[in-house]
Amino acid sequence: MIRKNVWAISSICFLLHQILIYCHFSNIYLDSYLDPLVFIPTLIGGIEYLISFFLINFRIKTILIYCYTTIIAIIFEFVIPNFDHRFTADIYDCVAYFFGASVYTKTVFTRVIKS
């Protein structure tokens, strides 16, 4: 699969989930794990896609994606829950962050150049 497709699918899933929340639809699994799963592909994919307009072969290195994922997991699952009661520490969210990052890094980066 192409990274741009993973980014688009992740973004659409995130937006649909937010619309469902707005419409008062709740599912314990979607509410708990969908956002962490699609967070890294949505954010990193958006950054790569936007920068690729200026630098055609731009690609964020895999090690940087995993470093960023580690920082996000630490902040959102260990730091913030200590002082904000709306957040809960959940190791399964960390698994979801890294699974999303893994899916994103395993895909192929292509940019079609029109001549």
Q: Report pLDDT for 28.
A: 87
Could you read off the pLDDT of 49-108 as tens digits, one per residue? 899 889 888 889 999 999 999 999 999 999 999 998 888 888 999 999 999 999 999 987
Q: Report pLDDT for 1.
A: 64
Instruction: Look up residue 109 and give its DSSP letter.
Output: P
Mean pLDDT of 35-41: 94
Distance of alpha carbon 36 from alpha carbon 50, whole angstroms = 22
Closest CA to 96 of 1, 15, 5, 29: 29
Q: Report pLDDT for 93.
A: 94
Q: Report pLDDT for 73.
A: 95
Q: Report pLDDT for 40.
A: 95
| 109, pLDDT greater than 80 | no
What's the predicted TM-score (pTM) here? 0.85
Would you kindly state where each structural domain of the chain is located, as residue ranges?
3-105
Q: Is 2 helix (H, G, I), strand (E, B) or coil?
A: strand
Q: Report pLDDT for 111.
A: 54
Q: Report pLDDT for 114.
A: 52
